[in-house]
Amino acid sequence: MLIPSWVSTFILIKLIVFLVVMWFVQKRAKITYTLSAPVRRAIVWKQSAGGVLLVAAVALIILFFAAEDGPDPVFGVTGIVSLVVSLILLIIANPIKVVKFRDDWFRVKGCSPEFLASLPVHRSPF
């Protein structure tokens, strides 16, 4: 059974609207840190691969809907898989993640204990 194209389009539009709203309402914290050359290279590689896969996924999804003789499932499935893999690569590319934010304080995940021990000590609201 093939899903009607208007349903697929509606789901895609809802996903895009959700991502745009999430992007505007998220709280942001800017963290500055240094990395070794191999770690930085790995992060840049993951971000680059994720970006290329994201562009490829969008192109494949457009080809899925633009096929002359109806939607081609190969383009659709490949586009969805590329989209998921690109999002995973982009999410894991950032080594430090803010996991909690309250009262202008934030808790981070992904730091070594040695790095955290080198920071000044302040009373935390957590």
What pLDDT is recorded for position 126? 56
CA 78 to mean position of chain CA atoms: 18
| In the predicted structure, residue 125 carries a pLDDT above the cut 70 | no
What pLDDT is recorded for position 82? 92
Is the pLDDT higher at 15 or at 103? 15
The answer on 81 and 117 residing in a single domain is no
The answer on 101 and 87 residing in a single domain is no
Q: Is residue 91 part of a domain?
A: yes
Q: Is residue 4 part of a domain?
A: no
| In the predicted structure, residue 1 carries a pLDDT above the cut 60 | no
Q: Is residue 72 part of a domain?
A: yes
Paired strand residues for 101: 106
Q: Is residue 21 part of a domain?
A: no
Dihedral angle, C-alpha 41, 47, 48, 54, nearest 10 °:
170
Distance CA 87, CA 82 (A): 9
The answer on 75 and 58 residing in a single domain is yes
How many separate domains does the chain show?
A: 2
The answer on 59 and 105 residing in a single domain is no
Token pair 């093939």: residue = 2
Is the pLDDT higher at 53 or at 124? 53
Q: Mean pLDDT over residues 22-41, rounded?
A: 76
The range of the structural domain enclosing residue 121 comes to 96-126
The answer on 80 and 60 residing in a single domain is yes
C-beta separation of 44 from 35 below 8 A: no
What confidence tens digit (pLDDT) does each residue in 38-81 have?
A: 878 888 898 999 999 999 999 988 888 887 777 778 888 898 99
What pLDDT is recorded for position 56? 93
Range from 12-21, 24-33, 52-61, 87-96 carrying the lowest mean pLDDT? 24-33
Q: Is residue 61 part of a domain?
A: yes
The answer on 76 and 90 residing in a single domain is yes
